[in-house]
Structure 1
Amino acid sequence: MQPWALISPTSRGIGLEVARRLLKTTEIPIVATARKDLDKTREQLLTGFDNVKEDRLHVLKLDVLDESSIAEAATTCSQLFPKKDNYLHLGFVLTGLLFPEKSPTKIDYNEALLTFQTNTLGPLMMLKHFDSFLPRKSTALASLQDLPNQAVWATMSARVGSISDNRLGGWYSYRASKAGVNQITKTFDNHLRIKSDDKAIAIALHPGTVKTGLSHEFWGNVQEDKLFSAEFSAEKLLDVIRSRRLEDRGKCWDWKGEEVPP
C-alpha cells in the first residue's frame, strides 16, 4: 500500500509551510488545496525545489465553506490514489478565522456564523469526505522515514479552545469554535479506534502565536520569543505529529508536544 498526504489549505501561512516541509523531508505524494489561484499556490509550494517529480504534488481547488468542493476534491483524490492500493497517511486541516469579540455586545451574528463554518463545520465536512481514505485494521502500513508509524488526522485547534484553561474570557465565537474542534477530534478518534485500531489516530493541534494574518492584530502583545514564523510552527507541529504515541490519540497538543487540557 502506498501512502499519501493531504494538507488543506496551503495558499499561505502554516499550511503552505507544512506542505513545503513535507516536500523537503519526505517522498510521499502530497495533495495541497486552495480556494483559488491554484497555479500561484503551486508556484509558492515549489519555490526553491528543483527536483520535485511532476506526479508528487497535486494542487486541488477546495473551499471548506462549500461541501460540494470538498466532495469534488475527494473524488479527484480517489482517482489519483485508488483505495485498493493507497491510503491517507497524513491529513492536515488547518483552517482558522478569528473575530476577537471583547464583550458580548461585540458579537456579530454573521461573523460568529462564519467563524463556526470555517473553524468547526469545515473540518467536520473534511473528515466526512476523507475518512474513507484512512487505513483500516487490515491495511498494511508502509514504513516511512521522518513520518509517524500510524496514520494521523490532525486538525487546527487553539489553546483558547480549552474550557478549563479559560481565565480571561472574550473571543466568544473563536473559543467556542475551537472547543468544538476538540470535541470533533475526540469523537472522530473514537470512530478510528473501531475502524482502524492502531493504524490511525486523530489529534488536534495548537501552533502558538504565529505571524499570519489571523494573529496580525495581536503581534504587539506577544513576547518576541513567543511569536513564531510559519516555517518554525510547521516544523514544530510535524515534530509533534511524529512523536505521538497511541495513548496520545483524541487529544489536543501544543507546538511543544504538551497536552492542552479540555
Structure 2
Amino acid sequence: MSKPWILVSPASRGIGHALTRHLLRTTTAPILATARTDLPGVRSSILNSLSTTSSEEKDAVSKRLHLTHLDVTSEPSLASASAEARRLFPAETHHLRLAFALPGVLRPEKSPADVDYDAALRTLRVNVLGPLMLMKWFGDFLPRKSVEVSLDPLFTSALPTTSESESEDRGGEEGGGKGKASPHATFLLASARVGSTSDNRLGGWYTYRASKSAVISLARTYDLFLRNRSGDKAVSIAYHPGTVRTDLSREYWDRVRPEKLFTPEYAAERMVEIVRTRRVAEHRGRCWDWRGEEVLP
C-alpha cells in the first residue's frame, strides 16, 4: 500500500510558510518543503511557531518536516530537489498526495510603456516556468492508475477551522471542516483572478496577468495528461487565494477592504479546505478561488 507525502514549494515565507505549518498540524504525512536560502532558518521558523504539548509530539512533528533547496529558475536545482524527494520517498513505497506549486512575483505595469523586458522575463520564469518545471520534476511522484493508495485519512479528525462569524464575513466555508478528504492526489498551481481573460475589466498588470492566465491553462493541460496517466488517482487544479497579507501584495494592502485582506494563516486554511472538498469528476482541471467558486479562464 503506497504511503502519501506532501510537497510545498516554496515554503520560506507568506502562504507557503503558513501552509506548511497548517499541514504539519492537520495531517499525518511527511512534508517536503523548499526554500532558496537559509534552510535552517526556515525550518526553525516553521517548527518554532507550532504549539506542541510534549517533547515526543515535537520530535514527531520535526521528523515529518524535510527542507530542501530549490530555485524554480534553475533546472539543476529542481533536479537535485527531485532526487532528494526520491531518496526520502521511494516510488516503490510512497506517492505524492498533495503538491502545492506556489512560486510567484509581481511587478505591476499600467501600460505597455511600463514593461521592462528583464523584469517581465523574470516574472514569466518564476510564475509560468516555475510551476511547469515543478510538474516536470515532481509529477512522476503522483500515483499512476495501477498504484494502490492507502485509504487511511490523510487529515487528522480535529481540524482547526475559522469561526462561524469570520466564515460568513469571508464568503462561507464550502464543505466546512466536515467529511473526509478524497484519496485522490492533487497538484495545485497558484494562480489569481486577474488571470481570467473573461473577467478582465480593469486592464493593466500586463506581465502578471499573462503569467496567471498561463497558469490556468497549465493546470488544465496537465490535468488532461493526468487523466490518461493516473485516471481518477490524481488531478491538477489552479487556485486563487484572494488578496493575502504578504510581501507580494504589500503595496495594495490599503486598497483592500479589511475583511477581504486575508492573513497567510487564513489563506492556508482555505487552500487546504478547497483541496479537501474538490471531487474528481466535477472539479478537476479548473481554477477555484478561496470561496470554492470557479474562476473562469
Q: Tell me the residue number matched to 1:110.
A: 118
Q: Give, in angstroms, the shift of residue 55 of structure 1.
A: 3.0
Which letter does structure 1 place at the counterpart of 2:215?
Answer: V
Tell me if the contact between 1:190 and 1:250 (Cα under 8 Å) persists in the aligned partners. yes
Equivalent positions of 1:37-48 (< 5 A) are 37-47=38-48, 48=50
Q: Does 1:154 align with 2:200?
A: no
Whole-angstrom distance in 1 between the partners of 2:253 and 2:51: 31
Give runs of aligned pairs for residues 51-130 of structure 1, distance below 5 A. 51-52=57-58, 53=60, 54-130=62-138
Other-structure match for 1:196:
230
The answer for the alignment partner of 1:168 in structure 2 is 202
CA distance in 2, matches of 1:198, 1:176: 30
Deviation (angstroms), 1:62: 0.3
Q: Counterpart of 1:29? A: 30
**Number of corresponding residues:** 262
Identity within the alignment, % = 50
User: Take 1:185 and 1:145, find their aligned partners in 2: how far apart are those partners?
Assistant: 23
Runs (5+) with no aligned partner, structure 1: none
Per the alignment, in what secondary structure is the counterpart of residue 219 of structure 2?
Answer: helix
Report the Cα offset of residue 249 of structure 1. Answer: 0.5
Corresponding residue for residue 225 of structure 1: 259
Indicate the structure (1 or 2) with the bigger Cα radius of gyration.
2
Partner of 1:240: 274
Q: Is the 1:62–1:69 contact (alpha carbons within 8 Å) kept by the matching residues of 2? A: yes
Greater CA drift, 143-152 or 133-142: 143-152
TM-score, normalization: structure 1?
A: 0.98
Distance in 2 between the 1:62 and 1:185 partners?
21
Q: How does 1:169-184 map to 2 (within 5 A)?
A: 169-184=203-218
The 3-state SS of whatever aligns with 1:167 is coil
Question: Unpaired segments of 5 or more residues in structure 2?
Answer: 156-180
- Cα 1:95/1:148, change in 2 over 3 Å: farther
User: TM-score w.r.t. structure 2 length?
Assistant: 0.87
Q: Is the 8 A contact 1:97 1:118 kept in 2?
A: yes
Question: Given the alignment of the two structures, is residue 11 of structure 1 paired with residue 12 of structure 2, yes or no?
Answer: yes
What is the CA–CA distance in structure 2 between the aligned matches of 1:61 and 1:200, rounded to whole Å?
26
Deviation at 1:239, TM superposition (A): 0.5
Distance 2:79 2:216 in 1: 23
Q: Which string of whole-angstrom CA distances, capped at 9 and with x for unpartnered residues, describes residues 185-228 of structure 1?
A: 11100010000000000001100000000000001110111000
Deviation at 1:49, TM superposition (A): 4.2
SS at match of 1:135: coil
Q: CA RMSD in A?
A: 0.9
What's the CA shift string for 1:144-202, capped at 9, x where partnerless?
24344210000100000000000100000000001011111111000100000000000
Which letter maps to 2:218?
I
**CA distance in 1: counterparts of 2:205 and 2:136, whole angstroms:** 28
Assess if the C-alpha contact under 8 Å between 2:29 and 2:154 holds in 1: no
- Secondary structure, aligned partner of 1:28: coil
